[in-house]
């Protein structure tokens, strides 16, 4: 006899057979058997299995910590005072209604549970009830593939879908009420339930930094790195788009998320703009062009709002400091976007072995033949300079400036080790920067020391050095601030370009159509 039947059954004297105390869902029966049998458990495949394990551990821990007489007294009280009532109803729908009402007398059901009950109420026969249950269980299992705990819940999916459906910001407490208004007929309920597994799978894939169909993509590397979730609704709304159109949408979404993150926009302000955006995206044709995607994003690209975010972006970037460990990943991301901008968008140099933010973000790992090359986050003016080096900054200047983003760059690990604590104008350090594979680093050195350059790269070096006359030869706090401005303008222009603004001049141009977006 399976252990689950032994522990969860009783002997009915009248029928002279075992009767189940309750019938666990098919999706958890095997896992429950293993728990009760003390077997080694495989990884949980859904939240129900995870909750079962946690409940069993909690109960076991509690029982092991108390006097057995307390347990005996409790059981004796239940046996002599608790009354079991059997309620027979005419239909499954009525049973679901009673279940919801009784449960709400204790711990309130969440909106996902209530919605599941609503769907069950709509079906007219047992076969449909079983199919609906299977759709729900499969959707729940698909969501469990997400690496983000918040996304694993059906409640998150239900809230995202109603936001797409209505275009409105729905309070969590009102999600069930809104779906109750939408799912009025049996057909609507069945169609909705049937769509849930695929929508859940798409959401799980997107939350894991992939396309809705599960293909690898680096377009959303930043939002995935920083574990954002609010924007997932927009990407889910665009899951019907073909591969090219989805990539264009992801570019816009990623840039808007990064602008929000790095300008310290309030989460509630960002979330407020998500729902209308999602609904407009959901109405796009599957072959939507970039222009059509930008028009569908007009509600979040209003010039006045974007200008405010850009102003805040400049201030927040100037506050980033290497001294705060939590900010280092932000610094590395900004520098990665800047390096990519110079390397590919402007200079069109594909000689370096890197072509994405992900590659520029990568740190060197492994050893020997298993080594994966990457970049160190390096101080241009060293954090601990050799005291014998003439011309070193005074301690106060160093303390105030050395950890600012303008004094940091991405550098090959071997170059970083060779220059160690040398001052910026040291010949070894100048040579390292001049020979760097990143054009962004070569900008710190006089062009006469760079050797032969392609016409395209030389033109870009001239342009950027003319705009930002920064040099290692006279590196000081003013140069650090100028380099910080250089990073800000590159990063800003990268985000604005992905958001559909050709230049900062276009963003700042006053137009009567501002209220309608860009």
Q: Over 80: is that where the pLDDT of 89 sits?
A: no
Residue 376, classed as helix, strand or coil, is: strand
Instruction: Give the residue among 376, 375, 393 at the shortest CA–CA distance from 384.
Output: 393
- Write out pLDDT tens, residues 223-262: 999 999 999 999 999 999 999 999 999 999 999 999 999 9
What gap in Å lies between CA 375 and CA 440, rounded to an integer?
13
Q: Over 80: is that where the pLDDT of 195 sits?
A: yes
- Write out pLDDT tens, residues 264-321: 999 999 999 999 999 999 999 999 999 999 999 999 999 999 999 999 999 999 999 9
Tokens 């060779």 sit at which residue? 418
* Percentage of residues of the chain with pLDDT beyond 70: 83
pLDDT top residue among 76 and 345: 76
Q: Over 60: is that where the pLDDT of 512 sits?
A: no
Instruction: Please list the residues that pair with 210 across neighbouring strands.
Output: 216
Q: What is the pLDDT of residue 170?
A: 87
DSSP per position, 440-484? HHHTTS-GGGS----HHHHHHHHHHHHHS---GGG--HHHHHHHH
What gap in Å lies between CA 392 and CA 509, rounded to an integer?
45
- Write out pLDDT tens, residues 37-77: 777 777 777 777 888 888 888 888 888 888 888 888 888 88
Q: Over 70: is that where the pLDDT of 511 sits?
A: no
What gap in Å lies between CA 499 and CA 334, rounded to an integer?
17
- Write out pLDDT tens, residues 151-167: 999 999 999 999 999 99
16 pLDDT tier (thresholds 50, 70, 90): confident
Instruction: Please list the residues that pair with 379 across neighbouring strands.
Output: 408
Q: Over 80: is that where the pLDDT of 87 sits?
A: no
The predicted model gives 177-185 an average pLDDT of 90
> In degrees, to the nearest 5, what angle opens at C-alpha 455 toward C-alphas 452 and 461?
80
Q: Over 60: is that where the pLDDT of 208 sits?
A: yes
Q: What is the pLDDT of residue 126?
A: 80
- For residue 303, CA distances in Å to 191, 230, 271, 495 come to 40, 22, 18, 14
Whether 403 and 383 have beta carbons less than 8 Å apart is answered as yes
Residue 364 DSSP symbol: P
Q: What is the pLDDT of residue 110?
A: 66
Instruction: Give the residue among 143, 145, 137, 136 at the shortest CA–CA distance from 160.
Output: 143
What gap in Å lies between CA 411 and CA 373, rounded to an integer?
11
Give helix 26-36 / helix 126-143 axis angle, nearest 10°. 60
- Write out pLDDT tens, residues 433-489: 988 888 899 999 988 888 888 888 888 888 899 999 998 988 988 999 999 999 999
Q: What is the pLDDT of residue 352?
A: 40
Quick one: how far is CA 211 from the chain centroid?
Answer: 13
Q: Which residues contact 207 (CB under 8 A, 6 or more apart)?
A: 146, 147, 148, 151, 229, 232
pLDDT top residue among 184 and 63: 184
Instruction: Give the residue among 193, 196, 158 at the shortest CA–CA distance from 178.
Output: 158
- For residue 236, CA distances in Å to 86, 203, 229, 295 come to 44, 6, 11, 18
371 pLDDT tier (thresholds 50, 70, 90): low
Whether 440 and 491 have beta carbons less than 8 Å apart is answered as no
Using alpha carbons only, how large is the chain's radius of gyration in Å? 30
pTM above 0.85, yes or no: no
H/E stretch holding 496 reads: helix 477-498
What gap in Å lies between CA 517 and CA 305, rounded to an integer?
10
The predicted model gives 192-196 an average pLDDT of 95
The predicted model gives 76-81 an average pLDDT of 84
């Amino acid at each position: 006899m399976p252990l689950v039947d032994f522990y969860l059954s009783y002997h009915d004297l009248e029928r002279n057979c075992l009767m189940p105390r309750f019938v666990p869902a098919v999706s958890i029966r095997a896992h429950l058997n293993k728990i009760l049998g003390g077997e080694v458990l495989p990884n949980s495949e859904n939240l129900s299995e995870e909750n079962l394990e946690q409940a069993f551990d909690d109960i076991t821990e509690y029982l092991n910590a108390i006097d057995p007489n307390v347990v005996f007294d409790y059981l004796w009280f239940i046996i002599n005072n608790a009354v079991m009532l059997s309620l027979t109803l005419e239909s499954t729908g009525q049973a679901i209604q009673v279940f919801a009402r009784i449960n709400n007398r204790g711990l309130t059901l969440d909106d996902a549970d209530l919605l599941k009950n609503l769907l069950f109420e709509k079906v007219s026969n047992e076969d449909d009830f079983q199919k609906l249950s299977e759709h729900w269980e499969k959707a729940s299992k698909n969501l469990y593939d997400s690496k983000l705990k918040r996304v694993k819940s059906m409640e998150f999916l239900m809230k995202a879908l109603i936001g797409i459906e209505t275009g409105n910001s729905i309070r969590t407490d009102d999600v069930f009420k809104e779906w109750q208004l939408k799912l009025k007929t049996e057909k609507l309920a069945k169609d909705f339930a049937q769509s849930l597994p695929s929508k859940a799978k798409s959401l799980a894939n997107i939350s894991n930094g992939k396309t809705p169909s599960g293909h690898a993509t680096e377009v959303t590397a930043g939002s995935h790195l920083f574990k954002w979730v609010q924007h997932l609704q927009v990407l889910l709304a665009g899951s019907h788009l073909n591969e090219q159109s989805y990539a264009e949408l992801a570019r816009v979404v990623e840039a808007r998320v990064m602008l929000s993150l790095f300008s310290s926009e309030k989460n509630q302000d960002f979330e407020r703009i998500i729902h209308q955006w999602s609904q407009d995206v959901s109405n796009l044709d599957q072959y939507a062009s970039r222009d059509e995607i930008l028009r569908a994003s007009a509600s979040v690209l209003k010039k006045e709002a974007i200008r405010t975010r850009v102003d805040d972006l400049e201030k927040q970037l100037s506050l980033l400091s290497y001294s705060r460990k939590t900010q280092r990943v932000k610094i590395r991301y900004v520098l990665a976007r800047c390096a990519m901008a110079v390397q590919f968008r402007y200079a069109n140099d594909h000689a370096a072995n890197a072509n994405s933010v992900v590659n520029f973000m990568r740190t060197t790992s492994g050893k020997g033949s298993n080594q994966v090359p990457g970049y160190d986050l390096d101080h241009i003016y060293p954090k601990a300079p050799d005291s014998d080096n003439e011309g070193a900054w005074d301690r106060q200047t160093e303390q105030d400036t050395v950890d600012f983003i303008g004094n940091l760059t991405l550098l090959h690990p071997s170059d970083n080790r060779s220059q160690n604590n040398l001052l910026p104008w040291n010949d070894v350090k100048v040579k390292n920067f001049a020979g760097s594979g990143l054009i962004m680093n070569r900008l710190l050195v006089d062009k006469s020391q760079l050797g032969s350059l392609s016409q395209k790269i030389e033109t870009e070096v001239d342009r950027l050095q003319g705009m930002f006359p920064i040099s290692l030869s006279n590196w000081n706090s003013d140069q650090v601030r100028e380099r910080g401005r250089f990073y800000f303008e590159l990063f800003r222009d990268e985000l604005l370009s992905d958001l559909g603004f050709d230049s900062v001049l276009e963003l700042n141009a006053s137009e009567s159509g501002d209220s309608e977006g860009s």
